[in-house]
Amino acid sequence: MAEAARAPGVAAIALGTRCPRCGKGKLFAGLLKLAPSCTECGLDFSRFDSGDGPAVFVILIAGFLVAGAAVITELMFAPPYWLHLAIWLPLTLIVVIGLLRPLKAGMIALEYRHDAAEGRRVE
């Protein structure tokens, strides 16, 4: 219980992409690949699996933002289609990559915080 009281908040872990236990060690070894364990506290990250949860949230958020902005731009300015592609494809990539890493870290933080595991029965 004392460990949970001093653990960093989920938002801090998500934005900093740090270890859910200590908040200091790096969570990722690559762009989206989890590190094997925390370099600071030794927490084993192999037990965590965020699944498709972060991707679903990214699709919903990025789709709303980019599609909404594209529709508004089309209605207000009616630019040619090539300009739409030149604007919205790179912006979509930036938004998706920018959101996916913190959302994955947030899902892992929630999984750690609630001690969730595959196949575990909730009572």
- Dist. CA 54–CA 11, nearest whole Å: 14
* % of the chain beyond a pLDDT of 90: 80
Q: Residue 119: which pLDDT band, with cuts at 50, 70 and 90?
A: low
Where helices occur in the chain by DSSP H, the ranges are 2-6, 10-16, 53-77, 81-113
Token digits of residue 16: 């900093």
Residue corresponding to tokens 């890493």: 101
The type of residue at 111 is E
Whether the CB-CB separation of 45 and 36 falls below 8 Å is answered with: yes
At 82, which amino acid appears? W
- pLDDT of 4 reads 53
User: What band does 1 get if pLDDT is binned at 50, 70 and 90?
Assistant: very low
Q: What are phi and psi of 76, to 5 degrees?
A: -85, -40
DSSP state, residue 118: T
Q: How many CB atoms lie within 10 A of CB 31?
A: 8
* Segments making up each domain of the chain, as ranges: 2-113
Mean pLDDT, rounded, of the chain: 90
